[in-house]
A and B are shown apart, each in its own frame.
Chain A
Amino acid sequence: MPNEILSRGVTRRAVLGGMAGVAALSVAGRVSAAAGGEAPALAQLVKDGKLPPLAERLPKKPMVVKPFEKVGTYGGSLRRGLRGSSDHNGILRMVGNQSLVRWNLEFTAVEPNLAERWEVSDDATQFTFHLIEGVRWSDGHPFTADDVVFAIEDCVKNTELYSSTPAQLAVAGKPVTVEKIDDHTVKFTFAAANALYLENLATPLGQHPTLFPKHYCSQFLPKYNPNIEADAKKAGVTSWTELFRSRCGDIEIPSRWGNVDKPTLDPWVVKEPYAGGATRVVMARNPYFWQVDTEGNQLPYIDEINFGISQDVESLMLNVISGKIDIQERHISVLANKPTLSKNMEKGDYRLLTLVPSASQQCQIYFNITHKDPAMRKMFADKSFRQALSIGINRPELIDIVYFGQSEPYQAGPRPTHPWYHEKYARQFTEFDADKAGAMLDQAGYKKGGDGFRLRPDGQKVFFSIDVIPTLYPDLVDALELVKTHWAQIGIDMKVNTIERALYYTRGDDNAHDAQVWPGPGGLDPMLDPRDFFAFHPQGSRYAIPWTLWYTSNGARGEEPPESQKKRMKLFDEARSTADLDKRGAVMKQIFDIAAEEFETVGLCLAVGGFGIIRNNLRNVPEKQPDSWSWPNPGPALPQQFTFTS
């Protein structure tokens, strides 16, 4: 098993932010900016009188970032690849992680970012953030408490713009209230306890408070601009909301990176936008960026980021191995590429980047326990049937053939390195025993018919299909083909149903699937994505979509789940509002106990880490990084302090 301790030798503590209730200070000290330098190009602009001097562009006490290896040098253009379609998050992961708080490198605690410190009330309903004084937007306009209030109160809570408040900003069905205490202090008040708010704020979906500059975006709101409808017509869009979105964007839409005029707080700002038909995206340094290194030099070190857009992963790989990409893991990280990447290390002049998976399970099989067909439902809901199928899988063989021996048999739950690791939940029914599986099936009433395949008690042959998306997870197709042969030996006939992505989702939404597979999350971030532990996620907990609908709509839609599910839902809500770490762990353990008892999902093996590359002349890059949407790599590794050596 690969050692999962991160590069600085820090053993993982749970991902949970023990900061709640404690006012935290920035880890590195503060220095006055007077000592620091700036990029030569900016210095030239200052000399020509086109830009204010550095001291006026930086906060009085800028945030100090400790470079990962050493203080860097200015200059260079970092090359990275994007896909041509829907890859806006490829940009977000690189530059757009400037929220009020951020994750530390180890993905274990929340650190200050645009908020230099904060206080949390004892009941976890009130969060008071103290913003760094003197931060400026990329156009030089001051960033203050007004911007945060505007972003939430005027934009996010505007029902025409957001028909419902984003999940993160609403608790107990009521949206958060944000008020200005003074120019640099804002208070967030929730209707009920929201103990996970800081961790959520550090994830990409926590960027709303710092996303909309008031002085720019207010011109697209009817409240501030009475002629907005006329402006929208002039711009050729149908409504003011369209105009707002195309000019100010949102966290996860391409137009966020499509407007060069929108001020941001990111280290680099858009110079050549991400638009339909673009063949590249170029981002240039933000002259007002508010972080410095330990010697007071303004970050970022690197002048610009150049994202080439490839239509095809193979041509991206070609660029990587011929040394035309400086850092890349997105799109090329699958295990199948590792031999090619390793072989060309010298030619491409790069080293490998190891991704520590945050997922728990490489291939979770979700039998549809709430199947529309009563006979199928009865079969899948039979726990001994699922257990028999689980021990009928020869996992060691599968791991050797499909995953090059790089994994271990696993079911679900936090990864072995996580303090909440739950032995029974993770390892039960992973021992291969075909005879015992057959005996269990016989006992459950699934007797073999004449052709060696088993029959249901109603006389029909046992047959079901498992949906998988080959374009997305080719390895899961291989894994399922092997599982098919293992199950044939115990008399179970299964079809590997390879389907297109949208169809996979539509089938799930309509509850029309027998079974589907997906990598099971929650290995390092069990609080952020508990979809496998109970019916939590309407597109993710695929063993019981109707139950998830019941849960997310407070009983208005879907189908009422059994008691064991309701209990877990209650427990999770309790865990979410528990600020104390040990208490929260104890509550989660109860959830894992019940989930282990119920055995709803069948897993194959522990999620396998991916790979990326870093060019040898690019320094200050951690060579081991978590790989998660919650820790949107490489952003939290702080690309603003990456630097080129000649």
Chain B
Amino acid sequence: MLVFIAKRFLWMIPSLFAVSFLAFVLIQLPPGDYVTTYIATLAASNEIVDQNTAAQLRERFGLGDPLLVQYFKWIWGILSRGDFGISFEWQQPVSDLIWERMALTLVLALSTLIATWAIALPIGVYSAVRKYSIGDYFFTAFTFFGLAVPSFLLALVLMYVAAVEFGQDVGGLFSPEYENASWSFAKMIDLFSHLWLPVIILAVSSTASLIRVMRANMLDELPKPYVTTARAKGLSEFRLLMKYPMMIALNPFISTIAWLLPNLISGSVVVAIVLNLPTAAPLLLQALMAQDMYLAGAFVLLICALTLIGSLISDILLALVDPRIRLE
């Protein structure tokens, strides 16, 4: 097991290099650069940037260097000093900008994961055991409806209702008084009192598919001889379900942990923007649009690193949970 983990860790290094390089190239691919975008943004409000300023900015940001040189400077900074470079747009070190956002993103991702599983697992098992019952149809219909409604629309409708009908403060993850406060127990409580809305919105869209997967897997397992044997031996129905069929049916859930983060970040961009969440997605999108490449690159790098770690975790968990999987 330890050997396996060590090997996997070693493999991560070249993968991360490849990914970071690709990300860097992709961010650079669109025409123009940060300075072009900056001028365009200002011109949008009919503001004029004189030519000198543009030339100056390019010089200052080292945008004249060849791509490879820019990439190695960046990577070397990260490896040697943990320095992710400067965000062009904000004139701040990138590392000041990313960590809190990544932390909140993880909080949101994990909460969404827990909520999704808490809804999908029991319903999936129930739908399998009570196949074609009223309950099965009801839940299936309800979750399919959730799958069909785009999450940003759901977010907008909920916000509109909350704001216009109930005069509630919506959007964001904190009340104004905690927004820039340092972390405390009270701030945590405040966070969770705001977190439920985005979590529900994001969970609603992903439960449907998980319920179907769970139901199908359980239906595969239930007619198998070992279930019949167990039932004949007089095991209670609940223990019988939990002991084996459930464990095996969980396999797809666990193996998709790794995708969860990239999915959540890419899938929740619009929701995060609509709800004004201080998570990674809006800042990443903004950085990409502004071609603020060190900031965008740092996010992409972190998301990739987390994905690799996530897939390692899911492999280890699978080995623990699913008796059919061996590491050799």
Contacts and interface: CB of A to CB of B under 8 A. Distances in A.
Tell whether A pairs with B: yes
Interface string B263-288: 00000000011111010001100100
A503 B163 CA distance: 38
A201 B28 CA distance: 38
Contacts of B19: none
Nearest to B42: A252
Contacts of A310: 171, 276
Given A312-B276, A322-B163, A277 B97 contact: yes
Given A505-B36, A539-B39, A163 B59 contact: yes
A521 B164 CA distance: 38
A499 to B, nearest CB: 10
Interface in B172-202: 172, 174, 176, 179-180
Contacts of A163: 52, 55-56, 59
Interface in A522-563: 529, 537-540, 552
Contact of B97 (A205, A276, A315): A276
Contacts of B47: 89, 204, 252, 629
B52 A237 contact: no
B294 to A, nearest CB: 11
B42 A86 contact: yes
A45 interface: no
Interface stretch (A253-261, A374-382, A437-445): A253-261
A14 interface: no
B328 interface: no
A276 B96 contact: yes
B83 A236 contact: yes
B44 A472 contact: yes
B38 interface: yes
Interface in A604-646: 628-629
Contacts of B145: none
Interface string A234-246: 0011100110011
A167 B50 contact: yes
A552 B49 CA distance: 13
A552 B50 CA distance: 10
Contacts of B41: 85-86, 501
A237 B156 CA distance: 41
Contact of A279 (B55, B276, B295): B276
B52 A314 contact: no
Contacts of B90: 254-255, 258, 275-276
Contacts of A89: 42, 45, 47
B38 to A, nearest CB: 7
Contacts of B291: 502
Contact of B167 (A165, A312, A322): A322
Nearest to A204: B47
A277 B39 contact: no
Contacts of A537: 48
B282 A502 contact: no
Interface residues of B, number: 63
B31 A502 contact: yes
Contacts, number: 160
A564 interface: no
B51 interface: yes
Nearest to B277: A311
A319 B164 CA distance: 9
A506 B89 contact: no
Contacts of A165: 52
Nearest to A250: B53
A504 interface: yes
A86 B38 contact: yes
A506 B36 contact: yes
A107 to B, nearest CB: 15
Interface string A334-368: 00000000000001000000000001000000000
A473 to B, nearest CB: 9
A506 B172 CA distance: 36
A505 B291 CA distance: 14
A311 B273 contact: yes
B30 interface: yes
Contact of B159 (A238, A254, A318, A504): A318
Interface string A139-151: 0000000000000
B93 interface: yes
Contacts of B174: 279
Contacts of B59: 163
Given A89-B45, A321-B164, A164 B91 contact: no
A633 B137 CA distance: 58
A449 interface: no
B39 A246 contact: no
Contacts of A552: 51
B153 to A, nearest CB: 11
Q: Which of A164, A359, A537, A552 is packed against the most chain B CB atoms within 10 Å?
A: A164
Given A85-B89, A506-B36, A276 B295 contact: yes
Contacts of A404: none
Contacts of B83: 236
A239 to B, nearest CB: 8
Interface of A: 84-86, 89, 162-167, 204-205, 236-238, 241-242, 245-246, 252-255, 258, 272, 275-277, 279-280, 309-312, 314-315, 318-319, 321-322, 324, 330, 347, 359, 472, 500-506, 509, 519, 521, 529, 537-540, 552, 628-629
13 contacts: A85-B41, A85-B289, A86-B42, A204-B47, A242-B91, A246-B92, A277-B100, A280-B176, A310-B276, A501-B41, A529-B48, A538-B51, A540-B48
Given A246-B91, A275-B96, 13 more contacts: A163-B56, A164-B52, A258-B92, A280-B176, A311-B274, A319-B163, A502-B31, A503-B32, A505-B36, A506-B36, A629-B45, A629-B47, A629-B48
